[in-house]
Amino acid sequence: MIKSEVVNEGLECPKCSYFIKGRFLPQHRCPKCGEPLLTRVRIGFVEGLQSVTTLCDRPSTYLSLGEGSTPLIRCFNTYIKLEHLNPTGSFKDRGASLAVALARELGYELVIEDSSGNAGLSVATYASAHGIRARVYVPSDIPEGKYGMLVSVGAEVIKAGTRDEAHDAAIKDRDGYYVGHVTNPYFIEGMKDIALEVIKQLSRVPRNIVVPVASGTLILGLWKGFNELLSKSLIKSLPKLIAVQASGYATLSKLVNEVIEVGNTGSNSRYADALRLTKAPRIRQVSEAVNASGGKLVIVGDDEGVKALKELWSNGLLVEPTSAFTYAATKALVTKNEVRPQETVTILTGSGLKYVSVVRKLLRSNN
């Protein structure tokens, strides 16, 4: 069987269309307008969809730890993609595998990341596998489980205040290569295969995909992947992108065409730590993707998020609170007849095993 060919042509600005030939540009931003860049790829297919094994252009130093190919299950009368079953317990492994491999190909011995925990652990793990160092800037209130795992895989961990302050500190660090998922185009490239997997697993394009959004890496990767498949006539339609954000951190609320609130959204979320990002450089790109798809934003409060967490854990899906917020959004949309469960895929992004002490308290609460 002849497989697809994916060739990276360079980096492109989605705002002003400025093009740079090649894979690398420090800080990953357009030198003309400052917008975070995306890759431009050329995809050649000579057979149908089933011959496509990946949508990613992988560096020569690419090293897999088994990321991707996660299960899609039917549960609660809907479809759920189990991204928390990736090697380090989150979907970020897909992006880190490419970004760290590129850093290694470029000759760097130190990679730098800012993270609430998941991306940092993923980057540190792949860096360790490549034999290079990782420095991760994290918020000071990082869950103990995530902090301990980062240290255990050999990362240099620096606590730097809030989630946004950790980002600011990381981008000022010039000691190594900043692989930061909030701007790195290769993190987005790594997400594209989720689109391919979902279509193959369902044998069709889902009508709706429910996705948590902080930096926007996942939702943009999905959108890019679906559009690349559409451009080659391998699919005939695009799904609606339904973005999920936590109360107090809804950076999309004034940028998308439709917003739905679920639960008590009057205060900042205490539990959805992976969504507590207010400086999202790609937020304009995310809003354009959501609007172009005919999608919407769902803002979820802690009360509904905790209820959803209890339901997921009681049914054997041991995910982190952020994933529960995403499932809470799906439940609310089904109840409001906004979506049909059999036409909807919900992405569960992170493992709850990093949060055992936190989840234990929440599962015992009366919320």
In 85-230, which ranges are E strands? Answer: 110-114, 133-138, 156-159, 177-178, 208-212
> Across the beta sheet with 38-44, what order do the strands follow?
19-21, 5-12, 38-44
Residue-wise pLDDT tens digits, 298-324: 999 999 999 999 999 999 999 999 999
Residue 60: pLDDT band by 50, 70, 90 thresholds?
Answer: very high
233-255 pLDDT, tens digit per residue, is 999 999 999 999 999 999 999 99
User: For the residues 325-348, what does the mean pLDDT come to?
Assistant: 97
Whole-number pLDDT of residue 367? 57
Q: Which of 257, 220, 230, 246 is nearest to 305 (CA)?
A: 246
Answer yes or no: is pLDDT of 27 > 90. Answer: no
Mean pLDDT of 100-113: 95
| d(C-alpha 70, C-alpha 202), whole Å | 13
Give the DSSP H or E segment for 244: strand 240-246
Q: Is the pLDDT of residue 146 over 70?
A: yes
pLDDT (mean) for 287-304: 98
115: which residues sit within 8 A by CB, 6+ positions away? 121, 123, 136, 137, 138, 166, 181
Does residue 142 or residue 300 have the better pLDDT? 300
Is the model's pLDDT at 97 over the cut of 60? Answer: yes
Which DSSP string do the residues of 278-320 spell out, in sequence order?
A: ---TTHHHHHHHHHHHT-EEEEE-HHHHHHHHHHHHHTT--B-
**Between 7 and 90, residue with greater pLDDT:** 90
3-state secondary structure of 344: strand
| In the predicted structure, residue 277 carries a pLDDT above the cut 90 | no
**Helix, strand, coil abundance in the chain, percent, nearest 5:** 40, 20, 40
Could you tell me how far CA 344 lies from the centroid of its own chain?
18
User: What is the predicted pLDDT for the residue at 357?
Assistant: 74
Quote the CA–CA distance of 167 and 116 in Å, as a whole number.
10
> Rounded to whole angstroms, how far apart are CA atoms 78 and 89?
22
Q: What angle do CA 289, 48, 190 make, to 5 degrees?
A: 40
What pTM was estimated for this model as a whole? 0.94
Q: Are 186 and 39 in contact (CB under 8 A)?
A: yes
H-run or E-run covering 201? helix 185-202
Q: How far apart are CA 118 and CA 234, in angstroms?
A: 33
- 6 vs 194: CA distance, rounded Å: 16
344-348/78-82 β-pairing: parallel
Amino acid at 362: L
**At residue 309, what is the residue type?**
L
Across 150-164, average pLDDT: 93
Contact by Cβ (8 Å): 91, 191: yes
| Residue found by looking up tokens 């979907």 in the block | 91
